[in-house]
């Protein structure tokens, strides 16, 4: 099952009235190690992949997102695409972009536009998204940019809004884009604080606390 199909299926389930998860420092975690970009990404072990959504298989959304690929080359892979539907709709996606094969290289100056395009493309699967302005920052010496937004799911009952946040970081000739989705705003803040650890650095939240979107009562 490809990512768009998973998102479409999730849209039919995400609005159930269920309690939000209660995070705990002792919550079991899963670590994904990226051998190409040389980092460890840690997320709750309650998240699991649907068949066919993860691995280094190419993403068919690549032309719609951060840049148009050169003919014949695969520029985007999806090593992590996991969901936790036990407490509502919660999803984590990691996409890796090969900057050397995009027709237009993404630099730190264009990272804000790229991350906005990535999140827009994902939220667009549910409806018409509204995004906040992107913000640039640094993850242990790597240029990064983040953006958040939301989308109202048409004809939904219960929790009809999906909240999203994305951060893209440059590491060498590659770009990693982390996306977090939830139909519970406080949960989105928890997911955005999952950590990434590059070689010879300390584990750092993917999205700094000051950029986590505020939730209205």
Which string of DSSP letters, residue by residue, matches 143-206? EEEEEEEEEEPTT--SS-EEEEEEEEEEETTEEEEEEEEESSHHHHHHHHT-EEEETTS--EES
CA gap 187, 190 in Å, rounded: 5
51: pLDDT strictly greater than 70: no
Token pair 């700094």 is found at 208
The correct CATH number of 3-16+27-211 out of 3.30.565.10, 3.40.50.300, 3.40.1000.10, 2.60.120.560 is: 3.40.1000.10
DSSP 103: S
Checking if the pLDDT of 82 tops 50, the result is yes
Q: Do residues 119 and 165 make contact, with C-beta atoms less than 8 angstroms apart? A: yes
The pLDDT, as a whole number, for residue 62 is 44
**What are the two backbone dihedrals, phi and then psi, of residue 61, each rounded to the nearest 5 degrees?**
-90, 5
Model pLDDT, residue 2: 52
Residue pLDDT, tens place only, 108-155: 999 999 999 999 999 999 999 999 999 999 999 999 999 999 999 987
Mean pLDDT over residues 83-91, rounded? Answer: 91
pLDDT band at 56 (very low <50, low <70, confident <90, very high): low
- Mean pLDDT for 24-51 is 87
Mean per-residue pLDDT of the chain: 82
pLDDT tens digits, 154-175: 877 767 899 999 999 999 999 9
Six-digit token string for 179:
């996306």
pLDDT of res. 117: 95
Check whether 189 has a pLDDT greater than 70: yes
Rounded CA separation 88/66 (Å): 29
Range in 64-73, 82-91, 147-156, 207-216 with the lowest mean pLDDT: 64-73
What dihedral do alpha carbons 87, 55, 189, 38 form, nearest 10°?
150
Cα–Cα distance, 172 to 174 (Å, whole number): 6
Determine contact, residues 215/185, Cβ cutoff 8 Å: yes
- Its pTM stands at 0.82
pLDDT of residue 100 exceeding 70, the answer is yes
Confidence of residue 216 (pLDDT cuts 50, 70, 90): confident
Q: Would you state the pLDDT for residue 22?
A: 41
């Amino acid at each position: 099952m490809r990512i768009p199909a998973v998102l479409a299926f999730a849209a039919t389930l995400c609005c159930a009235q269920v309690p939000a998860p209660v995070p705990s420092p002792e919550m079991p975690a899963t670590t994904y190690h990226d051998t190409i970009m040389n980092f460890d990404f840690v997320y709750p072990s309650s998240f699991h992949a649907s068949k066919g959504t993860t691995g280094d298989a190419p993403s068919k959304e690549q032309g719609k997102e951060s840049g148009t690929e050169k003919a014949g080359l695969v520029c985007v892979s999806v090593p992590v695409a996991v969901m936790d539907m036990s407490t509502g709709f919660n999803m984590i996606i990691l996409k890796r972009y090969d900057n050397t094969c995009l027709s237009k290289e993404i630099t730190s100056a264009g990272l804000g536009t790229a991350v906005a395009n990535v999140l827009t493309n994902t939220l667009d699967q549910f409806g018409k998204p509204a995004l906040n302005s992107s913000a640039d920052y640094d993850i242990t010496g790597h240029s990064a940019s983040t953006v958040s937004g939301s989308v109202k799911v048409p004809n939904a009952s219960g929790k009809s809004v999906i909240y999203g946040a994305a951060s893209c970081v440059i590491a060498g000739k590659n770009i990693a884009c982390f996306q977090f989705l939830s139909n519970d705003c406080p949960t989105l803040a928890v997911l955005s604080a999952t950590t990434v650890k590059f070689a010879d650095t300390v584990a750092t939240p993917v999205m700094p606390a000051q950029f986590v979107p505020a939730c209205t009562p």
